[in-house]
Amino acid sequence: MLKPAMGLGNLLPLLYLPFAFAQSLTQGLESPTGYVPCDALISAGFRDRILTASSPEYESRIQSWWSANTRYHPWCLFQPQTTREVSLAISTLAKAGEGAGDWHIAIRSGGHGWPGSNNVVKGVTIDLGHMNNSWYDDGKKVASLEPGAKWRDIYAKLLEKYNITVTGGRDGDVGVGGFLLGGGISYYTGTNGFGCDVVVNYELVLANGTIANANATHNVNLFKALKGGGPNFGIVTRFDVEAMPAVDLAYGQILTSMEHSDDVVQSLIAFTEKVEERPHDHMFVLYEHSPDINGSIILSVTTNTQGNMNTTSFDGFRSIPALSSSWESTSLAAAANASQVTSGYSSASATLTLHLTPSLLAYATTLHTRLTTRLTQLLGPTAFLASTIFQPMPTLYSTISPQKGGSMLPPFRTNSIMWTGGVGVTGGGDAALAIAEAELLSTTQRLEVRAREEGALEQLVYLNYAHPGQDALGSYGAETVKFMKGVAGSVDPGAFWQERVPGGFKLGRVV
């Protein structure tokens, strides 16, 4: 026998339940937003820290995300200014999220990253941009950096005020937080290790709102897990890092035509093989196709961190006919400004780490040409950007980390090259980006298959450059993943960071 359909009178009590919950949060508010988590933050006293879509500053802040396809419009932006504000906000949001619908939280540091990693559509984005201070303790020789600062500003302030510098990002527009949590490749990696290796203390807010510190003597396992472990353990509100006297760099850029690609690759291999002998020298090579170039060009960025203008490490590159070349003494702050990557395009990237095999690197350059040819056919010659970056990854880099307590990044078995492919579109919206991204991933797959066939694929999929479909954390190895999951479980037993804050590479998705 069929039960009678539920009438409106029977349905009203059920409809009233979520309304009553929302009403309890908005009671006493002069202008509730109607969004449960946003109103919860306002009830906690954060009205002047909240931006909604109708706020005058909201849209300009959304446009500050680096890539156009990451410029989501959350229900509200929460912009804390202190660690205590972050703590109270997390406690508040955790309570507001008990049984409350399909919404999530995102954490934004500098605004770089793939779609969904640091912004959200349905929910709250915690925007750390106002937590952008830095200062220096001369007695400890330690600089303290807040997560929302950009590296160009960090370098400039530390230089001007204290005449010191730190191991940080090469692109001045990148934020402190994501860079250090993912590892961090620096001009100083040959002498100081990855950016995470110079962190001596993390101040962070845990899932229950507790403010904790992790260092070599306190919360030791958490300290190690944060070094490359990504956004899995809490919101880091301060990084205390080793500092050093500021010295002007010897810095240059060499622009070469594609006809000299083989010579560039040979010089890149020769440089990588000699890094251990000259650890103060650092470089990377960028193959770039952009709308204002008829085809592709090759840019080699060269640096000596001691300011040695007479280093011979880059002689191989200088012997190649150049379209333009520079070599000058400059501050790290100025070099970071010169290395900023153009923003505003919808973009995607992927990465692999390859052994230093000449045939494999030559194949990677061929794939770059194949990719640009294919995208020219599909989108037109001026509708896209495409890049291939070769970053030396010598075994030297792996020997520094253990001396400083170790990190999550796996060691390199042999001198290697980190390959990173990127695409961007200048128009055509989501459809054009979907085409460009599909072609990039096809390129990545071809290169990975060839590397596996040659036994030349290194373990690391670098988190800061990886595509969201790549298993960056899983590339660290089963034992490392087990360790990180154990740490995450101890500081976040309710899996708050895995479920309520799903963006970024999360341990909960690693098999």
Average pLDDT over residues 326-342: 89
Average pLDDT over residues 402-427: 94
**Is pLDDT above 60 for 144?**
yes
The percentage of residues in the chain with a pLDDT greater than 70, rounded to a whole number, is 94
CATH entry 3.40.462.20 includes domain 249-453: yes
Does residue 28 or residue 4 have the better pLDDT?
28
Is 409:350 a contact under the CB 8 Å cutoff? no
pLDDT confidence band for 31 (50 / 70 / 90):
confident
Pick one of 2.60.120.1060, 3.30.465.10, 3.40.50.620, 3.60.15.10 as the CATH number of 132-246+474-502: 3.30.465.10
The pLDDT, as a whole number, for residue 20 is 38
**Is pLDDT above 60 for 160?**
yes
Average pLDDT over residues 125-137: 98
Question: Quick one: DSSP state of residue 150?
Answer: B
**Is pLDDT above 80 for 360?**
yes
Domain with CATH 3.40.462.20 in the chain: 249-453
Burial (CB count within 10 angstroms: exposed 0-12, middle 13-18, buried 19+), residue 425: buried
Is 384:369 a contact under the CB 8 Å cutoff? no
Beta-bridged to residue 257, according to DSSP, are: 297
Q: Is the full-model pTM beyond 0.85?
A: yes
Express each pLDDT in 90-107 by its tens digit.
999 999 988 768 999 999
374: left (phi > 0), else alpha (psi -120 to 50), else beta?
alpha
Outline where DSSP puts E strands in 180-280. Answer: 199-205, 211-215, 235-245, 249-257
CATH entry 3.50.50.100 includes domain 29-129: no
The pLDDT, as a whole number, for residue 19 is 35
Task: Reduce the secondary structure of 165-199 to three states and give it as a string.
Answer: EECCCCCCCCEHHHHHHHCCCCCCHHHHCCHHHHE
The pLDDT, as a whole number, for residue 426 is 86
Residue with tokens 């962070």: 204
pLDDT confidence band for 30 (50 / 70 / 90):
low
Average pLDDT over residues 502-509: 97
Say how far apart CA 224 and CA 216 lie, in whole Å.
8
pLDDT confidence band for 9 (50 / 70 / 90):
very low
Express each pLDDT in 34-78 by its tens digit.
999 999 999 999 999 999 999 999 999 999 999 999 999 999 999
pLDDT confidence band for 17 (50 / 70 / 90):
very low
Pairing of strands 296-304, 249-257: antiparallel
Mean pLDDT over the full length of the chain: 93
Domain with CATH 3.30.465.10 in the chain: 132-246+474-502
The pLDDT, as a whole number, for residue 8 is 29
Does residue 15 or residue 175 have the better pLDDT?
175
The pLDDT, as a whole number, for residue 210 is 98
Domain with CATH 3.30.43.10 in the chain: 29-129
Q: First CA to last CA across the chain, in angstroms?
A: 47
